[in-house]
Structure 1
Amino acid sequence: MPAPDDLALAIGARVREERRRRDWTLDQLAEASTVSRRMLVTVEQGAANPSIATLLRLSDALGIGLPELVAPPRSAAAEITRAGTGALLWQGEHGGRGVLVATSPGPLVHELWHWTMQPGDQLASDPHRPGCRELLQVLEGAVVLAVGDERHELAAGDAIAFAGDEPHVYSCAGDAPAAFSMTVLEPAGPAAEPGTPTTHVARS
């Protein structure tokens, strides 16, 4: 798995590159993404490990999608993510981990994630971009998934498809660790103009 500092430097370079390609100032990107100018400076310098929520705001504002923001440059028709080399983008308070292990570019962006959660870990998400769908299969333990007003209890082997453009919460159920794989399918969107509110708010 890439060292956090290496990932932060790569993300910072990509944000700076995309901002300059649009001829945007830091203030313009801050306005479009609702990420503070101070945070943008630290991100572009590679001095911060931004949360998934921050990464999503930046990817929405730049119109490139989360996978393109965090992935290394593409150089082949087939790309392999070796065990332990995925991008660690979430860490739970009790030791859980969310790793982005594979991606595919748009127009329909695909993200493949591997999640582990310890008892007490929970991940709350605001709605993603309209049209987003998520597919989840529990590999070990048990997971409670709340989507809008619905609550679903999932055991090992269970799978669910649901609307990612609804508020949703993943929780480790019971006293044993849980693991699940998840695929996110999200329509790619154009870059936001400065001053345009983003709809893809947070995933952590």
Structure 2
Amino acid sequence: MPDPDLVSRALARNLKRLRAERGHTLDALAARSGVSRGMIVQIEQGRTNPSVATVVRLGDALGVSIATLLDYEEGPDVRIIPGDQAVPLWTGVSGGTGTLLHGIEAPGPLELWEWRMEPGEEYSSEPHPAGTVEIVRVDEGELTLVHDGAGRPVPAGSTVSFDAAYAHVYRNAGDRVLRLTMVVSVPPPR
């Protein structure tokens, strides 16, 4: 696992750089993202560890993936991310994790995630920008996917795709570990 300070510094540096490249003031980025100006300042100064939802909103407003915001290495055309360098971004109350394995811009953000959720854990996601699609493969256990208010069981070995512009929840309602592999595709900014 990468040093949390390294990730925090990378987020601060990349957020500031991307905001400047796009010509956004702090107030403009706050308005576009729904993240307060004060929070953006704290992130750019490396003084806070924002939630996944906050990082997602900032990435969406800037038209980049979470991986781009957290990229602590400027790499060549081929990038290999060692397993111990993957960035865990969500931790459940019972020890589950949501880990960003890799991400690219192609032409919009494209992210690969690995999730492990203990029994009783859930993650609620805000709606993503229109056109965002998620594909989830249930590797172990059973996922209860709540999409636009309706719950759907997705057993191990199944893959589900859905329009992520609606609120959605990943829930482990079972009595054993749930493991997921997820791809998130966000359209390029307009």
TM-score by length of 2: 0.90
Q: How far does residue 60 in structure 1 lie from its aligned partner after superposition?
A: 2.3
Summarize deviations over 1:96-122 as a string: whole Å, max 9, x none.
111110112131431100001011211
Offset at residue 74 of structure 1 (A): 4.0
- Which whole-Å CA distance do the structure 1 matches of 2:33 and 2:146 have between them? 27
Contact 1:99 1:113 (8 Å CA) reproduced: yes
Alignment-derived partner of residue 15 in structure 1: 15
Does the aligned pair in 2 maintain the 1:65–1:188 contact within 8 Å? no
Query: How far off its partner does 1:155 sit?
Result: 2.2
Contact 1:116–1:179 (CA under 8 A) maintained in structure 2? yes
Question: Which whole-Å deviations, capped at 9, do the CAs of 1:158-191 have from their partners, x for residues lacking one?
Answer: 211222122211001212111110011121114x
Q: Counterpart of 2:15 in structure 1: which amino acid?
A: V
Query: Is 1:163 equivalent to 2:174 in the alignment?
Result: no
Name the counterpart of 1:173: 173
Q: Cα distance, 1:31 vs. partner?
A: 2.7
Is it true that 1:82 corresponds to 2:88 in the alignment? no
Q: CA deviation at 1:77?
A: 2.1
Does the 8 Å CA contact 2:108/2:189 hold for their aligned counterparts? no
How many residue pairs get aligned? The number is: 190
Contact 2:101–2:114, Cα closer than 8 Å, also in 1: yes
**Deviation of 1:133 (Å):** 1.3
Mapping of residues 118-197 of structure 1, within 5 Å? 118-190=118-190
Q: Which runs of 4+ in 1 moved over 6 A?
A: none
* Bigger Cα displacement from structure 2, 34-43 vs 15-24: 15-24
Structure 1 residues 14-55: Cα deviation after superposition (integer angstroms, max 9, x where no partner): 111122334443233223322222211210111211111111
- SS of equivalent to 2:136: strand
Taking a change above 3 Å as real, the CA distance of residues 32 and 132 of structure 1, as seen in their structure-2 partners, is closer
Gaps of 5+ in 1: 191-204
TM-score (norm 1): 0.85
Q: What is the match of residue 60 of structure 1?
A: 60
RMSD of the TM alignment (CA)? 1.8
The 8 Å contact of residues 67 and 105 in structure 1, kept in 2 or not, is answered as no
**Secondary structure of residue in 1 paired with 2:151:** strand
2: CA distance, partners of 1:109 / 1:13: 19
User: Which secondary structure does the structure 2 equivalent of 1:129 belong to?
Assistant: coil
Higher relative contact order, chain-length normalized (CA < 8 Å, sep 6+): 1
